Structure 1
Amino acid sequence: MKRNMAFISCVVFTITLAALVSVSAGRALMYPLPSSVPQAEKKPMQTFRAYNVAHRGSNGELPEETAPAYMRAIAEGADFIESDIQATKDGVLVCMHDVTLDATTDVADRKEFADRKTTYEVQWVNTTGWFVVDFTLKELKTLRAKQRFDFRDQQYNGKFPPITFEEFISIALDAKRTVGIYPEIKNPVFVNKHVKWSDGKKLEDRFVETLQKFGYKGQYLSKDWLKQPCFIQSFAPSSLVYISNQTDLPKVFLIDDVTIRTEDTNQTYNEITSDSYFNYIKDYVMAIGPWKDTVVPPEDNYLEKSTDLIAKAHALGMQVHPYTYRNENSFLHFNFHQDPYVEYDYWINRRGVDGLFTDFTGSLHRYQEWTSSSEKQLLQKIASMVSSRDRS
């Protein structure tokens, strides 16, 4: 039955995707409003296993942070869809990972925007390109997304525009089952420097206001949270502390390579993962989201000895949601023998993580389904029945 339902979901997604591609040719895409399916009738999220977080949507298959990428992730079984939230020149919150548009849109081919290319300092480094903060929403919507990596499927390049934070939320709420959102307050220091709101508020304020507008509230696993699950994440710990009095939604502190400095505190992540800092930040966040190579450093593409990052976080009552898991050989360490399922097994069963950010939602969901307790019990029951029949 599960396989049949998965097949039907994929067929429905394929038809929907075809419609989106067709409509996009006319430059008039429409995205769903919040679902008409009563919340009480939606299948609840499973919270007993590590969360399947669709990193920028199912971006291993479709251009990242686009409506089809998120719809695909939902069809493939994602628990959460993840997005990076920035602001346009006119103050609209949009889904875009990079502060520049170069790597994921066709902006470089658009002559009307040639004069927008500029250089800004971003996280202590001078960066040149076309920046999200220099485009109005109307201008941004004329751009079309492209696949970031040239070794991935390029057939959907030029088909889909960027989407707003509200459109992203609407896609999650339109799902026929409970699907959580996992938005990131992205580069808040940079965005707040270049985008000004007339009422004096800033990115963090607008971010929380948008979540509240759509009914997102409640502490982790509360009744309200289970109805509309949401994790708020950021690499900027001061942003997470700032919004702590505005929302009780669970917050996740992202951690990069230990040598990199945070945008807001100018501390390295080595300093910021110290015992003293963890004892401070645990009062504001319920999880950390570390780069997986920070947790278990590799040498010559082989994993070395694990750090104590997971154990330290768990000891303080924080979950651990590492990033990013990708199926391609170029991203898989040699220990996993070019098999992403072996990597999932290592991180879930040997390292004990509580969630994973993946570019390939379907792969992680298949692993989840075939290794969950209920599936194991079913397989054991079938094996027992077969064995009993053979003995009779």
Structure 2
Amino acid sequence: MLSVVLAVSSMLATPVIIAHRGASGERPEHTRMAYERAIDQGADIIEPDLVMSADGHLVVRHENAIGETTDVADHPQFADRKTTRMVDGVEITGWFTEDFTLAELKTLRAKERLPLLRPASAAFDGQDPILTFDEVVTIAREASARTGRSIGVAPELKHPLHFRSRNLNIEDAFVAELERLDLTGADAPVLVQCFEVGPLERLSKRIDTPLLQLMQVFGGPADRPDMTYADMATPEGLAAIRTYAGFIGVQDQMILPRDDRSAALPATSLVADAHAADLKVVVWTFRAENIFLPLEHRSNESPSDHGDLTGYLNRFYDLKVDAVFSDFPALAVGAKLGRLP
């Protein structure tokens, strides 16, 4: 397993800045315009979430339910595909990628997922189609050639257990795509993420590409009902993760918890414990809107107004985290640059 910067560049200054679904605070997420804007703003890595089409293609959407992020509801020919389905124990009503071929998905256009919080981004609704994984890799490779910087890609495998229940194997499809794109080596500019444990354990035996175990404050992996993320964040849990992955990707509040007023509490020992286990720490997700920030970094009471994201990021930079995910990569880059001598 490689050091903090994977192999995305000969040497990137830490923390590495990962554009969460592109510059998704300013453009509809997972679109070409969002990824290219993030790269122009200085992001080191761009992140595509991967789900599957009915014909086995890896498509880039935050969830397999696409009612909130595409104009599928405006296509009368797809009205009868609306259904209710259980995904990782949660009942969801809408349209699902696994019920569409790639050709059908390509007829849809992306839209802003949080239009009330991000109306400026919603102004770009309807312009970009859904991307495939290989198209995102191409965006990164073309940007690397254009800018002279090595731009990495951090794909997240979404709901592998659910897709298996639909006779779609996202792991096999993903490995085949990595092999086709020559991205299976330890020096590949790729960081593979998943909230489930089994897929990463199996991938660690099939590819040398760096792997990241995702964790959040509540719950546990869908494929390990007897395991919680809190257990995984203990020294013993971290040692177990290190047997198959070199990175953890943790929700910000696992490091800076919040009290009942949403004010940040003192930092936990998670960063130090992970580093002691020889794991790199990536933190998600840094957003500028007040609703996502702790009380002391908010600008006022309006949920959509921007607060002091730079100050919040600096608290994590002070803790020596190795990378951050941000919807606003320009602010994350600016905070990092502001600390350089």
Asked if Structure 1 and Structure 2 have the same fold, meaning a TM-score greater than 0.5 normalized by the shorter chain, the answer is yes
Q: Residue 58 of structure 1 is aligned with which of 11, 18, 23?
A: 23
Q: Distance in 2 between matches of 1:54 and 1:270?
A: 26
Indicate if the aligned counterparts of 1:218 and 1:248 stay in contact, CA closer than 8 A.
yes
Contact map agreement 1:205 1:243 (CA 8 A) in 2: no
One of 156, 159, 165 as aligned partner of 1:193: 165
Matched, 1:335 2:288: no
Counterpart secondary structure, 1:216: coil
Q: Deviations over 1:126-173 (max 9, x none)?
A: 221111111111111111111111221211111111100110110001
- Equivalent residues in 2 for 1:103-142 (5 A)? 103-142=68-107
- 8 Å CA contact 1:182, 1:231 repeated in 2: yes
Asked if structure 2 preserves the Cα contact closer than 8 Å seen for 1:123 and 1:262, the reply is no
CA distance in 2, matches of 1:331, 1:278: 27
Q: What is the aligned length?
A: 317
Of 161, 165, 172, 1:205 maps to 172
Equivalent position amino acid for 1:183 in 2? P
Q: Please identify the structure whose Cα radius of gyration is greater.
A: 1
1:63·1:157 contact (CA, 8 Å) conserved in 2? Answer: yes
Q: Name whichever structure is richer in helix by fraction.
A: 1
Instruction: Write out aligned runs for 1:218-297 (5 A).
Output: 218-219=185-186, 225=187, 228-258=188-218, 260-266=219-225, 267-297=227-257
CA apart distance, 1:109? 2.1
In the TM superposition, what is the alpha-carbon distance from 1:242 to its structure 2 partner?
0.6
What is the DSSP-based 3-state SS (H/G/I as helix, E as strand, rest coil) of the residue aligned with 1:142?
Answer: coil
Deviations 1:13-33 (A, max 9, x none): xxxxxxxxxxxxxxxxxxxxx
Map 1:26-175 onto structure 2 (within 5 A): 44=9, 46-150=11-115, 151-152=117-118, 153=120, 154-175=122-143
The CA distance in 2 between the partners of 1:80 and 1:98, in whole Å, is 20
Displacement of 1:255 in angstroms is: 0.1
Q: Give 5+ residue unaligned stretches, structure 2.
A: 1-7, 299-306
How far residue 271 of structure 1 moved from its aligned partner, in angstroms, is 2.6
* 2:52–2:64 Cα contact (<8 Å) kept: no
For normalisation by structure 2, the TM-score amounts to: 0.89
CA distance in structure 2 between the partners assigned to 1:294 and 1:262 by the alignment: 16
Q: Which residue of 2 aligns with 1:298?
A: 258
Q: What is the letter of the counterpart of residue 164 of structure 1?
A: T
Residue 183 of structure 2 corresponds to 216
Alpha-carbon contact 1:78-1:361 (below 8 Å) kept? yes
Structure 1 length as normaliser, TM-score? 0.78
Q: Distance in 2 between matches of 1:160 and 1:172?
A: 17
Two-structure CA RMSD over aligned residues (Å): 1.5
CA distance in 2, matches of 1:69, 1:195: 32
Provide the C-alpha distance between the structure 1 equivalents of 2:247 and 2:173, rounded to a whole number of angstroms.
Answer: 23
Q: Corresponding residue for 2:301?
A: none
Q: 8 Å contact 1:251–1:287 — kept in the other structure?
A: yes
Please report how far the alpha carbon of residue 326 of structure 1 lies from its aligned counterpart in structure 2 after TM superposition. Answer: 0.7
**Residue 315 of structure 2: which of 331, 342, 346 is its match?**
346
SS across alignment from 1:371: coil
**What SS class does the counterpart of residue 127 from structure 1 fall into?**
strand
Moved more, 231-240 or 45-54: 45-54
Structure with higher RCO (Cα < 8 A, 6+ apart)? 2
Quickly say closer, same or farther: Cα 1:328–1:287, change in 2 above 3 A: same
Aligned to 1:347, the other structure's residue is in SS state helix
Residue 184 of structure 1 aligns with an amino acid whose one-letter code is E
Structure 2 CA distance, aligned partners of 1:358 and 1:191?
Answer: 27
**Cα deviation code 1:33-65 (max 9, x no counterpart):** xxxxxxxxxx94542310100000011111101
SS in structure 2 at match of 1:303: coil
Contact kept, 8 Å, 2:235 with 2:274, in 1: the verdict is: no
Question: Among the aligned pairs, what percent are the same residue?
Answer: 36
Task: Name the SS for the 1:138 alignment partner.
Answer: helix
Say if 2:20 and 2:285, in contact at 8 Å, map to a contact too: yes
Task: Identify which range, 353-362 or 276-285, moves more after superposition.
Answer: 276-285
